[in-house]
């Protein structure tokens, strides 16, 4: 069931027209070092296609909840060609953080939704900053704005862009010095993520 679903979603996403500033394109396509991508949970639907188009051939691991619901997302990501690390702030958090650090040190990318897996929506938790500081890795914030999309009645108002619509993407690298103070980094990165991800 998962494999046909992944194929259908890939076909759906292939119809979405992506737009982004030239500088952001250089940021997302820079493959010289592993990168920690930070994005809000309700933009997750787009990730497999973004990495397929712009990080092709570069392994990426997503942090997926250790809950039963997370098992479905993990299976979908696997079918879509992404790898997963299971865990969250409430379940296996320390083990998941250590695993993500090792993934980055091995040369692969990592994606984290800092308001997942249960919210509150758009409230950044410190896990992504902790992983970035421990791994001493490149950090990129991801933004997505949709021309036309459905929103689910989930805790985060999950976005499903309509086929053949446009999505404006943003990718902004975080300076290493912005991560020195953990609490300030959490506050500033959360605020900047909101600016890069406007709700219609």
pLDDT in tens, 87-128: 665 544 678 889 899 999 999 999 999 998 889 999 999 999
What confidence score (pLDDT) does residue 83 get? 81
Instruction: Note the pLDDT of residue 85.
Output: 82
User: pLDDT band for position 1 (50/70/90)?
Assistant: low
Instruction: Judge if pTM exceeds 0.95.
Output: no
Residue-range definition of the domain harbouring residue 164: 2-196
- Return the percentage of the chain with pLDDT > 70, whole number: 91
Domain count within the chain: 1
CA proximity to 62, closest of 94, 30, 88: 88
Q: Give the CATH number of the domain where residue 54 resides.
A: 3.40.50
Least confident of 40-49, 168-177, 178-187: 40-49
CA distance 184 to 186: 5
Q: Are 173 and 138 in contact (CB under 8 A)?
A: yes
Helix (H, G, I), strand (E, B) or coil at 97: helix
pLDDT at 71: 73
Coil, strand or helix at 177: helix
Dist CA 3 CA 77 (whole Å): 10
pLDDT for 92 equals 46
Q: Is the pLDDT of residue 174 over 50?
A: yes
Average pLDDT, the chain: 89
Task: Compute the distance between CA of residue 137 and CA of residue 111 in angstroms, rounded to an integer.
Answer: 13
Residue 168 has pLDDT above 90, yes or no: yes
Q: What pLDDT does residue 2 have? A: 61
Interatomic CA distance for residues 131 and 62, integer angstroms: 13
- What pLDDT is stored for residue 78 in this prediction? 73
């Amino acid at each position: 069931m998962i494999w046909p679903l992944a194929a259908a979603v890939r076909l759906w996403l292939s119809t979405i027209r992506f737009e982004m500033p030239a500088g952001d394109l250089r940021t997302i396509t820079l493959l010289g070092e592993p990168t920690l991508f930070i994005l809000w949970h309700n933009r997750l639907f787009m990730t497999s296609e973004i990495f397929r188009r712009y990080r092709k051939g570069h392994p990426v691991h997503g942090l997926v909840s250790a809950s039963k619901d997370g098992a479905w997302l993990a299976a979908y990501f696997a079918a879509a060609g992404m790898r997963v690390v299971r865990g969250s702030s409430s379940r296996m958090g320390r083990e998941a953080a250590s695993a993500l650090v090792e993934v980055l040190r091995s040369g692969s990318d990592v994606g984290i939704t800092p308001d997942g897996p249960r919210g509150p929506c758009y409230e950044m938790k410190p896990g992504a900053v902790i992983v970035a500081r421990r791994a001493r890795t490149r950090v990129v914030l991801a933004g997505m704005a949709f021309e036309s999309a459905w929103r689910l009645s989930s805790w985060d108002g999950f976005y499903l862009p309509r086929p053949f619509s446009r999505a404006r993407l943003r990718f902004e690298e975080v300076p290493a010095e912005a991560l020195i103070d953990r609490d300030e980094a959490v506050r500033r990165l959360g605020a900047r993520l909101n600016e890069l991800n406007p709700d219609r």
